[in-house]
């Protein structure tokens, strides 16, 4: 029994290895042994948050991973370079007219077209980074040539680095001094305004109180005028009613008076017509009046002559008129 145990253990281990190999072949398929594309990039600045195995994406779509990160330190120049080696899975990309595995110059065409690598923030909470590839034509293409035999993809600063450069380029001290002076001026203005607003507030309160009293007085006056106007309108209404009653009562008298006046007018018109007909140039009455007037004129002339005669000769009354 003791000799059988090692054989059983060996068989168990061999079976486990066989199952593991079968599982790898089943789940990994041919991709386990498929060739990969490798490239290198050099990022400026800190690479904190970028780890081996971090995704390599093209416009957010994963096409590979970070294979290796190495620090190359030069004792002569006392400088360090950190190449990041990328492993790209060809099965994740459909190539049309390109063969990067058999044509190394194909990388040059991609770089000339603007292919660039950039660090992108993968998680805001953990600060993890990934490498994102994209075409950015018009950006400079700087390559170091420090990793022979491996295609090098130019890099561009990340959004965080660009923001850091912009902030670094700002005149922070001048801005701080300006902000300090501005805050001091604002504080002085606030103090001055506080000292000025109190009298203005009191004045505004007094003005509001006076305006309220004026409005109350005006309201009372308006109510009094309204009452007086109502009384006046009532009196006018009563007067109009009395006038209508008086007119109604005197309507008959006025009608009779008007009728009498009309009759008197017609009679006067008739009289005038009669007078006009009597005094017409060829009327008989007018001829009689004219004859009477001539007779009266002759009589008056005779009386005047007789009066002159008596005046000259009073004895003519006794003797008579001498020839």
Question: In this predicted model, what pLDDT tens digit does every residue of 125-138 receive, in sequence order?
Answer: 888 999 999 999 98
- pLDDT for 7 equals 65
Flag whether pLDDT at 25 surpasses 60: no
Domain membership of residue 51 (yes or no) is yes
Contact 42, 142 (CB under 8 A): no
Domain membership of residue 55 (yes or no) is yes
Domain membership of residue 145 (yes or no) is yes
Q: What is the mean pLDDT of residues 296-305?
A: 79
Domain end call among 123, 138, 169: 169
How many CB atoms are located within 10 Å of the residue 42 CB?
Answer: 19
Domain membership of residue 174 (yes or no) is no
Domain end call among 142, 169, 196: 169
- Which residues constitute the domain of residue 315? 284-319
**How many angstroms separate the CA atoms of 146 and 45, rounded?**
17
> Whole-structure pTM over 0.85, yes or no?
no
Place of tokens 């066989």: 18
Domain membership of residue 9 (yes or no) is no
Domain membership of residue 53 (yes or no) is yes
Q: How confident is the model at residue 4 (pLDDT cuts 50, 70, 90)?
A: low
pLDDT over 90, % of the chain? 14
Domain membership of residue 38 (yes or no) is yes
**How many angstroms separate the CA atoms of 7 and 38, rounded?**
45
- DSSP H or E segment with residue 57: strand 55-58
- pLDDT for 31 equals 46
Mean pLDDT of the chain: 77
- How many domains would you assign to the chain? 2
- pLDDT for 22 equals 61
Domain end call among 169, 192, 227: 169
List the 129-135 sheet strands across, edge first.
115-121, 129-135, 55-58, 61-69, 83-88, 37-42, 151-152
Domain membership of residue 262 (yes or no) is no
């Amino acid at each position: 029994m003791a000799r059988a145990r090692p054989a059983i253990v060996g068989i168990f281990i061999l079976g486990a290895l066989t199952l593991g190999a079968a599982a790898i072949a089943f789940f990994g398929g041919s991709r386990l042994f498929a060739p990969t594309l490798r490239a290198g990039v050099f990022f400026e600045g800190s690479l904190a948050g970028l780890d081996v195995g971090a995704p390599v994406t093209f416009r957010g779509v994963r096409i590979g991973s970070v294979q290796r990160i190495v620090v190359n330190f030069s004792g002569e120049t006392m400088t360090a370079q950190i190449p990041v080696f990328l492993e790209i899975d060809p099965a994740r990309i459909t190539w049309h007219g390109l063969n990067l595995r058999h044509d190394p110059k194909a990388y040059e065409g991609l770089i000339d077209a603007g292919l660039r690598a950039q660090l992108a923030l993968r998680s805001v909470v953990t600060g993890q980074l990934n490498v994102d590839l994209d075409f950015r034509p018009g950006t400079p293409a700087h390559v170091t040539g420090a990793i022979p035999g491996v295609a090098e993809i130019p890099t561009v600063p990340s959004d965080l680095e660009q923001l850091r450069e912009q902030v670094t380029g700002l005149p922070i001290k001048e801005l701080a001094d300006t902000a300090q002076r501005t805050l001091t001026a604002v504080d002085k203005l606030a103090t001055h305004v506080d000292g000025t607003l109190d009298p203005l507030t009191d004045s505004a309160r007094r003005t509001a109180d006076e305006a309220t009293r004026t409005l109350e007085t005006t309201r009372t006056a308006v109510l009094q005028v309204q009452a007086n106007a109502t009384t006046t309108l009532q009196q006018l209404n009563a007067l109009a009613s009395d006038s209508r009653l008086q007119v109604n009562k005197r309507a008959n008298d006025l009608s009779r008076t008007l009728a009498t006046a009309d009759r008197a007018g017609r009679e006067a018109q008739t009289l005038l017509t009669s007078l006009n007909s009597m005094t017409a140039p060829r009327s008989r009455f007018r001829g009689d009046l004219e004859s009477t007037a001539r007779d009266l004129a002759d009589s008056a002339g005779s009386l005047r002559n007789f009066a002159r005669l008596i005046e000259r000769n009073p004895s003519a009354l006794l003797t008579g008129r001498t020839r």
